[in-house]
Structure 1
Amino acid sequence: MPLTPEAVTAQGEVVAWLGSLGVSFAPDEEPWFTIDGFENSQQIGSDGSGGAFVLLPSQNVLYVSSEGRAGIIAESFEALIQLVVARPYWLDILKFSAGGDLQEMRRAADALEATLEDEDDVNEAREEIREHLDLPEPDDPVGALYDAVAASDAIVRATDGSPFTTLFNRFSIDNNPMLRNAAA
């Protein structure tokens, strides 16, 4: 049976562990964006940077950033949880994607993971969530993220009607000395 937001939020300990990875299941009260062609979408949560996770009728998960970027990031709610657990820095992978280059995203993921090696809290959260949800580790979370964002056709608009841009950003880890050194 697929994992649902209701199944996760019923487990307070899992919600707390996901919170330590930056995911909250308290949706925003005020709508601050619209999605063209989707009347029945459900905001299921948010992240620490003010972004929103939206479950679309297709069961895809859309991420809407507070900085005017949006796109589908997972094919299902379960795939979202797998992504967050495997790569809690998934948004930074997109930031350092060099405009949507999969190889750059893999380099960014490796560098970001290297910066977490001594983060026992992150590793403990990963283990606890996987155990409590009987969640398998995804085969290729970076590839799945790339595929979802690259195929995203959702048009998200701010309340003034202006469209949001893609989640792929133009930066590379070479633009960040800490990540550049971690990749070396």
Structure 2
Amino acid sequence: MASDVEAALDEFVSQLIRLQPEAPTLPFNSEWPSDCYESSASDGQPVRWRPTRQTLKTDLFERIENALDEKVHPDIADYYSRYWSDPLPANCVEGDLSLIQVWNEEDMERLRGNLIGHALSKRQQKRPLTFFFACAEPDDNYFISVDNFSGEVLLELPGKPPIRKLADNLAEFISSLTPRAIENMD
């Protein structure tokens, strides 16, 4: 059974597909494989892609917990373990944003390093632990995160205390979003 975050993300992706029935394109890269590609092509040739459900369970968040000696909020684990995808554009009351996603296993490892680095920076600043999942647009200095203790969704700037709470939890926040069409990257 899907968690609230997984169900909200599934609905968001369904809305995106209804908004953009023809899948967007990006240049094929054989060295950056993904289940998102709808077909293969010569490197650099445009190929259609879609967010694609992950099928294998990842141990990424257990490894992050071991590295930090702290539990990771289940909403973050559910969020990053649901789809393979390029970033997903959306609109919320605050404005435009991009939902961070992972493209493949290698990207998942990059994410692990970034989340751990972010967590260590928070510890050094003696600030509560948050985990980012979206960037505000067009000013991507702002990011949107989940408070690891409360599960609240927060608007933040690097090195600063959270600016404000955006939602009580990640599922509520995702459910409030409106997808924007994904631009072709030919």
TM tier relative to shorter chain:
0.3 to 0.5
Higher strand share: 2
Q: If each structure's helix is expressed as a fraction of its own residues, which one has the higher value?
A: 1
TM-score by length of 2: 0.34
